[in-house]
Amino acid sequence: MKGLVLGVLLLVAGVANAQTVRVEENEQTVNGVKRRGQQLTVQLDPKFVEKHWKDHLGQKAGKVKQSKGMLTVEGAVIDTISKSPMRVTSMVGSHATGSFVWWTLDMGVAYVDKAATPEEYAAADGFMKSFARKVYRQDVLRQINQAEDVLRSTKQEQDRVVKQANDLQLSIEKNRKRKLELEAELVRNAEDLKQLEQNVELNVKQQEASRQQVQQMEKAVEEVRGKLREIK
């Protein structure tokens, strides 16, 4: 029970943590070549971030291919960034300040760059920050679901304890009733024993009276037989 409550408190604390979003220009090595791109930092589990980033790219950019930790979208169409199809190359990882999502956008004639293509860079920055808000919401929903699971488990445990208490009380009442029945039975048994003992005493007297009566009848019969013998 204490463990379940602690779990809820930890989840609430996790939701309450400050959510930081930072996008900056950064380089990563792609197939042995350094590429400049944008890197988003979020304070979430990298596997959780990768799953939702892949889904997000699939919804917003096009079919996502994944190979050796690299995500790519050929002919990606993201109207908020560029009207022309782009090649998106991305990866998800972690560093000291949290998880990161990095991508580089190849517009065919140039890569999205802070200095060279400021408008596209700003739009891409907004795209990543929008994803960050989305993934944070998903994480909060996940924590809410976990908290609800803990709450359900807590309620089930409460129901079990209450049922156990009711069962124990019922057992106590049955035991108390049986005790009264046994006590009453012992009283009846004592009374029956006393009556049996009285019956035994009465039977002894009756046996003595019957024996005397038999003797008297035997004597009377002998007397009658004697009178019969006297008749000649």
Provide the pLDDT for residue 218.
84
Provide the pLDDT for residue 19.
64
Provide the pLDDT for residue 54.
97
Please identify which residue in the block is written with the tokens 């380089």. Answer: 27
pTM of the model: 0.64
Higher pLDDT, 5 or 45: 45
Instruction: Provide the mean pLDDT of the chain.
Output: 88
In terms of residues, how long is the chain?
232
Provide the pLDDT for residue 16.
40
Compute the distance between CA of residue 183 and CA of residue 190 in angstroms, rounded to an integer.
11
Whether the per-residue pLDDT at 99 is higher than 90: the answer is yes
Q: What are phi and psi of 86, to 5 degrees?
A: -130, 165
Provide the pLDDT for residue 3.
52
Biggest distance spanned by C-alpha atoms of the chain: 169
27, 34 Cβ separation under 8 angstroms: yes
Tokens of 141: 């929903």
Compute the distance between CA of residue 8 and CA of residue 11 in angstroms, rounded to an integer.
5
Rounded to the nearest 5 degrees, what angle is found at the Cα of 22, between the Cα atoms of 101 and 41?
Answer: 30
Each residue's pLDDT tens digit, 214-226: 888 888 888 888 8
Topology of the domain covering 2-146: TATA-Binding Protein (3.30.310)
Each residue's pLDDT tens digit, 124-158: 999 999 999 999 999 999 989 989 999 999 999 99
Compute the distance between CA of residue 100 and CA of residue 38 in angstroms, rounded to an integer.
10
Rounded to the nearest 5 degrees, what angle is found at the Cα of 107, between the Cα atoms of 106 and 113?
Answer: 70
Provide the pLDDT for residue 15.
44
Provide the pLDDT for residue 141.
93
Sheet of strand 86-95, all strands in order from the earlier edge strand to the far edge: 22-30, 33-42, 98-106, 86-95, 70-76, 65-67
Provide the pLDDT for residue 210.
85
